């Protein structure tokens, strides 16, 4: 458990690690090493930690999957996404070092002998470790359908008898409330809560972590943080690419399970929870669960679904060979959540996410209420925007007098763009931060089982409707690849009280000659 200390500045508390931190004799085993997550995020994050000296001494990484690959192919796949745009020789040399400590074993997910073979490989590495315990971190970069057999086989066949064992599993944790409960209880038969780390990588993102500080270390922010000041909140996830080649996974899960039910709901819970007693993981997660319990299940009338179609030379969702031709799987979803507590009653929280949209952007937009009418008529509303990615930023849209001899209000902003404000800071990738947390044994930024239970309660009825469990499946509205989403979106948001700026808003500079 983490304990609180004062930072050198004496202002923002910092965390002192008193977890079971792994320092040496540790192997990270990546299951699903042939896959998309492994190549795009897990291995680049492991490399980032290695390069900066954060991994335990004598670390080894063992990839495991069914695909047969030789070492050259394995290293090509797992280092292909490591960024080195200028071919920096120091990075190139580190990549070569990294390859030397990474090996691959091929095997199945359902049969004991495959896992026994993996253990032999682990033991051959550990034979060179100098005395003491040997620690094993099992990272399941796999589809949820194999979490249970892999979790069980690893526990039965690969568990280190003299050292720390930890298992990291990826979202989505099940497909609905019942399957999540089943998944959790099956895994609990093999792994303790302390050994289990359920990743939602949005909890590792810098700006998501910053929400706690922005809210609770700023009196000005705290006092405007409720239904008296806030009109509506939008949490938006936009990706400019489709599901190309991932249809096998995506078509079964859809946009709500892929992003809304986990990433965006986590953001919402931190944005709306009450002040935790401390930064200790259980205190934070207690508050998140409390606020989630105030949210009733989403209603059909509060949901807008979409699916992208071919446009701008790009294929539609149904054109992908891995997708059934008649699929009604939503690749876009907007839903509204209501929090029935004293602070938030009546404020709509609009969660929207889509693939194949016009830009890459994840942001939180808190729109405040209209200013009292009278001397100011039709001035724009204040908005606090927290841009999670790309280019982390927080800006507050405010009205200011136009400079000069007139007396007119125009929208401007107070802007904290990280790149400008923190010029020499490298912001860690979410997976770097989370893998390091797991090595330290810190659960603060991982998902607790009761959080999942309440999260699925909110989403299960709407998902069953979309899955066609209680009637015909709803047909998503088509939207062109590269567009802003279904054409119904603007009306959907406006109905919930969102008002666009009265004046044309130009950011970050305004030319007075255009006014």
Ligand X SMILES: NC(=O)C1=CN([C@@H]2O[C@H](COP(=O)(O)OP(=O)(O)OC[C@H]3O[C@@H](n4cnc5c(N)ncnc54)[C@H](OP(=O)(O)O)[C@@H]3O)[C@@H](O)[C@H]2O)C=CC1
Ligand Y SMILES: O=C1O[C@H](COP(=O)(O)O)[C@@H](O)[C@H](O)[C@H]1O
Under the binding rule (CB under 6 A), the answer on residue 240 touching ligand X is no
State the binding partner of 271 from ligand Y, ligand X, none, CB within 5 to 8 A by kind: none
β-strand pairing of 26-31 with 135-140: parallel
> Considering the complex, what minimum distance in angstroms separates the CB of residue 108 from ligand X?
8
Which member of 258, 320, 442, 451 binds ligand Y (CB under 6 A)? 258
Q: Return the one option of ligand Y, ligand X, none that residue 187 interacts with (CB less than 5 to 8 A, by type).
A: none
* Site map (CB under 6 A) of ligand Y, residues 179-208, x = contact: ----------------------x-------
Residue closer to ligand Y (CB basis): 295 or 362: 362
DSSP-derived 3-state class of residue 235? strand
Q: Which stretch binds ligand X (CB under 6 A): 54-62, 141-149, 152-160, 296-304?
A: 141-149
Footprint on residues 92-121 left by ligand X (CB under 6 A): 109
Q: Pick out residues in 221-250 that bind ligand Y (CB under 6 A).
A: 239
Q: How far is the CB of 96 from ligand Y (least distance, A)?
A: 27
Total of residues contacting ligand X (CB under 6 A) = 22
Task: Find all residues with CB under 8 Å of 257, minimum gap 6, and list them.
Answer: 172, 175, 459, 463
How would you label 358-373 residue by residue, b for 16+ Cβ within 10 Å and e otherwise?
eeebbbbbbbbbeeee
In total, the chain counts a number of residues equal to 515
Listed residue (78, 83, 4, 95) closest to 43, CA to CA: 78
Asked if residue 142 binds ligand X (CB under 6 A), the reply is: yes
Closer residue to ligand X, CB minimum distance, 249 or 418? 249
Size of the site for ligand Y (CB under 6 A): 5
- What residues pair up with 372 in beta bridges, in sequence order? none
Cβ contact 142:109 at 8 Å = yes
Q: Which of 44, 48, 56, 144 binds ligand X (CB under 6 A)?
A: 144
Q: Would you say 145 or 223 has its CB closer to ligand X? A: 145
> What is d(CA 199, CA 438) in angstroms, rounded to the nearest whole number?
10
3-state secondary structure at position 165: strand
H or E stretch including 369?
none
Which residue intervals of 324-475 are DSSP H helices? 418-421, 430-440, 449-466
Told to check if 66 binds ligand X by CB under 6 A, we report yes
**Whether 263 is catalytic:** yes
Window 36 to 55, contacts with ligand X (CB under 6 A): 36-37, 40-41
Smallest separation, CB 262 to ligand X (Å): 9
The b-or-e profile of 8-46 (16+ CB within 10 A means b, else e) is eeeeeeebeeebeebeebbbbbbbbbbbebbbebbbbbb
Q: Which does 146 bind (CB under 5 to 8 A by kind): ligand Y, ligand X, none?
A: ligand X
Q: Which of residues 259-318 bind ligand Y (CB under 6 A)?
A: 259
Residue 219: left if φ>0, alpha if ψ -120 to 50, beta else—which one? alpha
Spatial separation of the C-alpha atoms in residues 120 and 103, rounded to whole Å: 13
Question: Of residues 60, 75, 201, 263, which has the active-site annotation?
Answer: 263
User: Which of ligand Y, ligand X, none does residue 143 bind (CB under 5 to 8 Å by kind)?
Assistant: ligand X
Task: Categorise residue 402: left if φ over 0, alpha if ψ from -120 to 50, beta otherwise.
Answer: beta
Report if residue 164 touches ligand X, rule: CB under 6 A: no
Q: Does 251 bind ligand Y (CB under 6 A)?
A: no
Residue 295 parent element (H or E) = none
Relative to beta strand 60-65, strand 26-31 is parallel
Contacting ligand X (CB under 6 A), which of 81, 159, 216, 249? 249
CA-CA distance, 490 to 496, in Å (whole number)?
10
**Shortest Cβ 278–ligand Y spacing (Å):** 28
Residue number with CB closer to ligand X (63 or 411): 63
Site for ligand Y contains 320 (CB under 6 A): no
Task: Identify the bridge partners of residue 478 per DSSP, sorted by sequence position.
Answer: 307
Using CB under 6 A, pick the residue from 51, 91, 119, 143 that binds ligand X.
143
Of residues 168 through 187, those in contact with ligand X by CB under 6 A are 170-172
383 binds ligand Y, rule: CB under 6 A: no
What is the full DSSP assignment across 302-347? Answer: GEEEEEEE-BTTB--GGGSTTS-TT----SEEEEEE---STTTTT-
Distance from C-alpha of 490 to C-alpha of 488, rounded to nearest angstrom: 6
Kindly tell me which of 262 and 367 has the beta carbon lying closer to ligand X. Answer: 262
Kindly state whether residue 218 participates in binding ligand X, applying the rule CB under 6 A: no
Contact between 19 and ligand X (CB under 6 A)?
Answer: no
DSSP one-letter code for 499: -
- C-alpha span between 128 and 235 (Å, rounded): 49
Residue ranges in contact with ligand Y by CB under 6 A: 201, 239, 258-259, 362
Q: Which residues are catalytic?
A: 263
Residue ranges in contact with ligand X by CB under 6 A: 32, 34-37, 40-41, 65-67, 109, 141-146, 170-172, 201, 249
């Amino acid at each position: 458990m983490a304990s609180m200390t004062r930072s050198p500045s004496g202002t923002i508390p910092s965390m002192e690690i008193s977890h079971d931190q792994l320092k040496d004799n540790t192997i990270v085993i990546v299951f699903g090493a042939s896959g998309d997550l492994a190549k795009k995020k897990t291995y680049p994050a492991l490399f980032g930690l290695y390069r900066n000296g954060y991994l335990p001494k004598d670390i080894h990484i063992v990839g495991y999957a069914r695909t047969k690959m030789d070492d050259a192919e394995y290293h090509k796949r797992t280092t292909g996404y490591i960024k080195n745009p200028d071919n920096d020789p120091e990075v190139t040399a580190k990549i070569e070092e990294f390859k030397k400590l990474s090996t691959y074993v091929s095997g199945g997910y359902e049969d004991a002998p495959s896992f026994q073979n993996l253990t032999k490989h682990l033991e051959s590495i550990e034979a060179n470790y100098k005395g003491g315990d040997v620690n094993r971190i099992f990272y399941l970069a796999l589809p949820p359908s194999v979490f249970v057999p892999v979790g069980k086989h690893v526990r039965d066949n690969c568990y280190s008898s003299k050292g720390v064992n930890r298992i990291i599993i990826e979202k989505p944790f099940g497909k609905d409330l019942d399957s999540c409960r089943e998944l959790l209880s099956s895994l609990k038969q093999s792994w303790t809560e302390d050994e289990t780390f359920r990743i939602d990588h949005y909890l590792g993102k810098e700006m998501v972590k910053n929400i706690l500080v922005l809210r609770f270390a700023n009196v000005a922010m705290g006092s405007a943080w409720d239904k008296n000041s806030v009109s509506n909140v939008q949490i938006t996830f936009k990706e400019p690419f489709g599901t190309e080649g991932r249809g096998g996974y995506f078509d079964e899960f859809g946009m709500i399970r892929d992003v809304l039910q986990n990433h965006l709901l986590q953001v919402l819970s931190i944005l709306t929870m009450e002040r935790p007693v401390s930064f200790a993981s259980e205190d934070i997660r207690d508050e998140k669960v409390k606020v989630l319990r105030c949210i009733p299940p989403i209603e059909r009338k509060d949901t807008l679904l979409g699916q992208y179609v071919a446009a701008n030379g790009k294929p539609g969702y149904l054109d992908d060979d891995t997708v059934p031709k008649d699929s009604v799987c939503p690749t876009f979803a907007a839903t509204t959540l209501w929090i029935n507590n004293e602070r938030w009653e009546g404020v709509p929280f609009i969660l929207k996410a889509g693939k194949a949209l016009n830009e890459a952007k994840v942001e939180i937009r808190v729109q405040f209420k209209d200013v009292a009418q009278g001397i100011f008529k039709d001035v724009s509303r204040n908005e606090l925007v927290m841009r999670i990615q790309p280019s982390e930023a927080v800006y507050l849209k405010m009205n200011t007098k136009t400079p000069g001899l007139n007396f007119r209000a125009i929208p401007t902003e107070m802007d904290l763009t990280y790149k400008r404000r923190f010029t020499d800071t490298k912001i860690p990738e979410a997976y770097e931060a989370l893998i390091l947390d797991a090595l330290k044994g810190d659960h603060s930024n991982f998902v607790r089982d009761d959080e999942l239970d309440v999260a699925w309660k909110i989403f299960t009825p709407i998902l069953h409707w979309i899955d066609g469990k209680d009637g015909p499946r709803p047909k998503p509205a088509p939207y062109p690849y590269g567009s802003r989403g279904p054409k119904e979106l603007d009306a959907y948001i406006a109905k919930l009280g969102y008002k666009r700026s009265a004046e044309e808003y130009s950011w970050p500079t305004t030319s007075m000659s255009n006014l």
